[in-house]
Amino acid sequence: MDDLLTNPYVTTIFMIVGQLLLAIVGYFIFRAIGGSLITRTFQRMKEKRKMNNNRAQTLEKLAMNVFSYTLLFIVIVIVIDIFGLPIGPILASAGVIGLAIGFGAQGLVSDVVTGFFLLLEKQIDVEDYVTVIDLDGIVEEVGLRTTRIRAWDGTLHFIPNREITSVSNHSRGNMEAMVDVGISFNENISETMKVLQDAMNRLAEEEDGILEGPDVLGVGSIDEYDVKIRILAYTGNLQQWGIQRKILQASKEALDEAGIEIPVPQQVYIQEKNNG
């Protein structure tokens, strides 16, 4: 046993394994500490500089990505040094190989450059509702290489940044909640508008998501079966659909209470009797 412990090869193996364990443990410790520092830094930036929450989340996740890649590179260099390999020639060789495959990595470079300009120009932020290459969804992360968008059915899409040639951002500014309410041709339009506006005023007091309105604009259209009264409100980001449902519910209840008819399409069947 003593001979085994004094064997230089065994001692070297134990030293290498110990150093590798220290490098791995150090990686996870520094990653946790760095992640915590980045999170606290952006939290202070949001409080002191009044940075938009979505913007802060976007930059925070990007900083996490850059920090993780940098830390991983440092660990790889340390591991190379642990095995006693010369770092200089390896890095020089890596540079030559990188130059050789650079022509095949143009897509990766394009991803990084496009991602940089997406962030620089503030085209999208985390939690924005966007349309990208005919895909609607919520931005979950803008990375160096890909952007993650969660579709309405729950699917998470990883889109290479170079494919994002145009962006429709639906979260910049207030969102519209527009509803058309149909009434019978026999009803008084002015009276109906007053009933609806009173109901909308009560709804505005109850719902914090309504930023402006709802306002009863007037007759939106005259259809085959009814007259459409248009109601418009402005809401916060992603709250327009919920407010639309609230407007429809409040309108239906107000019209029922006032005895105003909401028509439904009807079909009349005429049956001819054969006297013969």
Q: What is the mean pLDDT of residues 4-33?
A: 71
Q: What share of the chain is helix, strand, coil (3-state, %, to 5)?
A: 55, 20, 25
Q: What is the DSSP string of 156-186?
A: EEEEEGGG---EEETTSSPEEEEEEEEE-TT
Average pLDDT, the chain: 77
In a domain, 170, yes or no: no
Among 32, 63, 85, where does a domain finish? 85
Tell me the pLDDT band of 99, cut-offs 50, 70 and 90.
Answer: very low
Dump pLDDT digits (tens) for 174-219.
888 899 988 888 888 889 899 999 999 999 888 888 888 899 988 8
Q: Is 131 exposed, middle or buried (0-12, 13-18, 19+ CB in 10 A)?
A: middle
Residue 173 has what pLDDT?
A: 77
In a domain, 164, yes or no: no
Tell me the pLDDT band of 265, cut-offs 50, 70 and 90.
Answer: low
Tell me the pLDDT band of 245, cut-offs 50, 70 and 90.
Answer: very high
Question: Is the link from the previous residue into 160 a cis peptide, with omega within 30 of 0?
Answer: no
∠ CA 163-166-167 to the nearest 5 degrees?
110
Residue 4 in this model has a pLDDT that exceeds 50 = no
In a domain, 209, yes or no: yes
Name the residue among 275, 274, 268, 195 with its Cα closest to residue 229.
Answer: 195
Residue 101 in this model has a pLDDT that exceeds 60 = no
Residue 108 has what pLDDT?
A: 63
Q: Which CATH number fits the domain that encloses residue 228? A: 3.30.70.100
If one counts the domains in the chain, the total is: 2
Q: Which domain holds residue 68?
A: 2-85
Residue 5 in this model has a pLDDT that exceeds 60 = no
Residue 225 has what pLDDT?
A: 81
Q: Is 171 exposed, middle or buried (0-12, 13-18, 19+ CB in 10 A)?
A: middle
Phi, psi of 179 (to 5 degrees): -135, 140
Between CA 7 and CA 14 the distance in angstroms is 11
Among 29, 53, 85, where does a domain finish? 85
∠ CA 182-184-188 to the nearest 5 degrees?
105
Q: What is the mean pLDDT of residues 17-23?
A: 75
% of the chain beyond a pLDDT of 70: 72
Phi, psi of 262 (to 5 degrees): -105, 105
Cβ pair 105, 64 in contact under 8 A? no
In a domain, 270, yes or no: no
Dump pLDDT digits (tens) for 143-160.
777 888 998 888 999 888
Query: Residue 268 in 3-state DSSP?
Result: coil
**Which residue is listed with tokens 């300009």?**
117
Query: Residues near 140 by Cβ (< 8 Å), separated by ≥ 6?
Result: 126, 127, 148, 149, 150, 156
Among 85, 118, 149, where does a domain finish? 85
